[in-house]
Amino acid sequence: MKKIKLEASLTKPILEIIQDKEIEIASSCGGNASCGTCHVFILSGEVSKETSIESEFWKGRKKKKNERLSCQTYALEDIMVNLRQKKNEV
């Protein structure tokens, strides 16, 4: 896991903020909330509520505490997240 600090943005999802920093993050579906490879763990800071699209994705899956899809989540304030560094890292 890689811990990174991200600035708040109401216009870009966390996935885009990470990509803008040129940090590698998986996103097999291109940010369409269908693959789950862009998931992150929110360590601190406030983020947007789960969208209906994200809620639908998590149905029937085991979701860990503070786990979110970065393509569907916005940082409402500066946040700290953990993200996978390798595609197969859990």
Specify the pLDDT at position 1: 81
If one counts the domains in the chain, the total is 1
Q: What is the pTM of this model?
A: 0.89
Tell me the CATH number at 66.
3.10.20.30
Residue 88 lies in a domain: no
Residue 90 lies in a domain: no
Residue 13 lies in a domain: yes
Residues 89, 46: Cα–Cα separation, whole Å: 25
Q: 90: pLDDT confidence band, cut at 50, 70 and 90?
A: very low
Mean pLDDT of 63-71: 95
Residue 89 lies in a domain: no
Output 30 or 87, whichever has higher pLDDT. Answer: 30
Residues 6, 17: Cα–Cα separation, whole Å: 7
CB count in 10 Å sphere of residue 57: 21
Residue 57 lies in a domain: yes
Domain residues for the domain of 39 are: 2-83
pLDDT tens digits along 32-59: 999 999 999 999 999 999 999 999 999 9
